[in-house]
Amino acid sequence: MAFEKTLLITGGAGFIGSHLVRLMVNKYPGYHIVNLDKLTYAGNLENLRDVEGSPNYTFVKGDITDAEQIQQLFARYGFDGVIHLAAESHVDRSIANPMSFIETNIVGAVVLLNAARFHWKNPEGKRFYHISTDEVYGSLGETGYFTEKTPYDPRSPYSASKASSDHLVRAYYHTYGLPVVISNCSNNYGPYQFPEKLLPLMIHNIRHNKPLPVYGDGQNTRDWLWVEDHTAAIDLIYHKGRTGETYNIGGNNEWKNISLVQELCDIMDGLLGRPAGASRQLITFVKDRPGHDRRYAIDASKLKNELGWEPTVQATEGLRRTAQWYLDNAAWLERVASGAYHVAHD
């Protein structure tokens, strides 16, 4: 079958990646979507059961740090584009084991960049899209927002590794003329998220009447982005974003951690038929994480003004959808939760 484009999506069996693969496979039947994933603890092919038989979808198990395999894949499939999501992404894990983040997030990005540079002798019609995080900007005070012009100030090994990969992507644009685009997003939430992350962890623990660990005083603030709003933005940026540019993607949905957990408790009480306030009794404050950024907030006006994107799912509606999905898919959550962390947020 002849395809009009062949796209490599790295990390496509993960949380955001699986939503993106599903979107691209279904929306663009003329595209061949190749999903490369190492299938670490956070990658799960069960997330993609509904598209695995699609004629325009191919899964490849592999490691982005394996330069030989990456070169072979470029030679075999002749990729027109790369959407790079594969990453070690959990702050607590980066504190415990920084080296794995350096290898995957920095070395892996360079391996992909080198392959694209080698194979795209004529860059016309090609695009290397690097997905990053708002954590590269550091921590905000009580007011203000991250913009695309905010200086980088990473505070954890995770955010430092992502900042490094962002800089390298830009360097390949300026040095080699590689056609790149970057986006930095806020905290994603929704179905299929690995349960070391805040919301699925809390949903799991509420179901089982286990403590709900909240770091520090619970006043750390994050902007929450519905995962399908994020993938819609990725689709737009890949196809219509300006080469060499960075776009911030935010949900316009700020919550203090403690307020978010309390709201989720109330939603879960309603869904589980528990007395009002019952799940809030499970909240337990624990020692704060080292280098825990106080507040993140995204100004996504550039993306709105240039490409017309805005988030569609807000606040309580998104939390309710998320909680309902995890309750409806309790068996999935139990299977992947068996090896998860007991304390986890970002």
Over 50: is that where the pLDDT of 89 sits? yes
pLDDT at 344: 45
Q: What percentage of the chain reaches a pLDDT higher than 70?
A: 97
Annotate 60-110 with DSSP letters as a single string. Answer: EE--TT-HHHHHHHHHHH--SEEEE------HHHHHH-HHHHIIIIIIHHH
Query: Same fold for the domain at 5-188+225-249 and the one at 194-222+254-293+313-337?
Result: no
* Rounded mean pLDDT, 102-130: 97
Higher model confidence: residue 25 or residue 290? 25
Domain 5-188+225-249 falls in which CATH fold? Rossmann fold (3.40.50)
Higher model confidence: residue 291 or residue 232? 232
Residue 310 annotated in active site: no
- Active-site entry in 134, 196, 223, 229: 134
pLDDT at 343: 45
Higher model confidence: residue 272 or residue 345? 272
- Active-site entry in 63, 88, 135, 254: 135
Domain 194-222+254-293+313-337 falls in which CATH fold? UDP-galactose 4-epimerase; domain 1 (3.90.25)
Residue 134 annotated in active site: yes
Residue 77 annotated in active site: no
> Within 13 Å, how many C-alpha atoms sit on residue 171's CB side?
10
Q: What are phi and psi of 207, to 5 degrees?
A: -55, -35
pLDDT digits 0-9 by tens, 122-151: 999 999 999 999 999 999 988 899 999 999
- Active-site entry in 158, 189, 238, 247: 158
Find how far residue 325's CA is from the centre of its chain: 18
Show me where the domains of the chain are located.
Answer: 5-188+225-249, 194-222+254-293+313-337
Helices (H) and strands (E) in the chain, counts: 12, 12
Confidence of residue 286 (pLDDT cuts 50, 70, 90): very high
Task: Enter the pTM of the model.
Answer: 0.94
pLDDT digits 0-9 by tens, 200-251: 999 999 999 999 999 999 999 999 999 999 999 999 999 999 999 999 999 9
Over 80: is that where the pLDDT of 29 sits? yes
